[in-house]
Amino acid sequence: MADRVDGASGSGDAYRQRSRRGSTEPLGLSDGELLEAIVALESTWTTGQLYDSYVDNGGVGRPLRISGMEVVLIEIAAAVFGSVRKAVRELHDHHVWSRLRRVALANSKALPEQPPSRSQYLRFRDRYLLDVEAGLAIREFNRQAAVRVAQTIGLFDPTLGSFSRPDPRNTVVGDGTWLRSLYNRPPDDVLYDANGERTRRIDPDGVRRNPQDMVTGRDVVSILARNAFTHERVMVDVCIKPTDRGGRRHLR
């Protein structure tokens, strides 16, 4: 009898395991090593400078105590650890933050003596990064940075192949995946207390894959470029697959 495999649908059907390609194998790095690599990456600091460019308080009020680089670091750490709260808690570990400061110093950069707080991150994000124009600009910036990374490892070389017979290194592929929400409850399943505060955490963008499912999430479509070597895969762009008003996924 085949082993039970519970997927996002919560069913007990057994599915054949999809074989991994070399470019999708886990890196085998610890969380600390991954954070150090992020701090040592030049594009992380460049993205932080882009974030800083949106800060404009007209000289009014107290200066910010968090930089764009620290916001980027928390965002990436949140993707590693699963939540902003856990990412901030990890960065507030003295040994972790000291290691990251040493890595930054070795690359002629500087991180502050104290890591940023969760409230500082949320204030920066909500005030400067939730604007539609800012989101589009950040997406275009990341797309261009991904193309530069791809060119660095030998992809998108105009001297390879031709228009009618392109080289595989000059092509991109689309891939779709189901990104599970941090919280299972959909946006319409919200309860409020007497003060009007939410009593349950929800994902405002989460939808159910099927009406009978409890798990919520979104379909994510990514554009990838791959090389023939292990771990040489670049995500050029990513977007959320649209749904109709009823929350159902489009099939095409």
Query: Based on the domain organization, do 35 and 107 belong to the same domain?
Result: yes
* Domain span holding position 111: 31-130
Q: Per-residue pLDDT tens for 35-63?
A: 999 999 888 999 999 999 888 755 566 77
Find the helix packing angle between 68-81 and 84-91, rounded to 10°: 110
Does the pLDDT of residue 188 top 90, yes or no?
Answer: no
Average pLDDT rounded to a whole number, residues 170-181: 86
Lowest mean pLDDT among 16-25, 100-109, 134-143: 16-25
Domain edge (last residue) among 130, 149, 172: 130
Taking the C-alpha atoms of residue 54 and residue 152, their distance in angstroms, rounded to an integer, is 29
Q: Is 138 exposed, middle or buried (0-12, 13-18, 19+ CB in 10 A)?
A: middle
Q: What pTM value is reported for the model?
A: 0.72
CB-based contacts of 235-243 (< 8 A; 24+ apart in sequence):
235/146, 236/143, 236/146, 236/147, 236/150, 236/172, 237/139, 237/143, 237/146, 240/205, 241/176, 243/207, 243/219
Q: Has residue 138 been placed in a domain?
A: no
The answer to whether residue 15 sits within a structural domain is: no
Q: Is residue 194 part of a domain?
A: yes
Last residue of some domain: 110, 130, 150? Answer: 130
**166 and 111, same domain (yes or no):** no
Is 97 inside a domain boundary? Answer: yes
Shared-domain flag, residues 123 and 168:
no
**Domain total of the chain:** 2
CB 169 within 8 A of CB 151: no
Confidence of residue 192 (pLDDT cuts 50, 70, 90): low
Residue recorded with tokens 């092509």: 171
Note the pLDDT of residue 199.
61
Percentage, residues of the chain above pLDDT 70: 76
| Helix (H) or strand (E) run with residue 88 in it | helix 84-91
**Could you read off the pLDDT of 242-251 as tens digits, one per residue?**
765 454 544 4
Residues 41 and 84 in one domain: yes
CA distances from 121 to 81, 111, 132, 138 (A): 16, 15, 19, 17
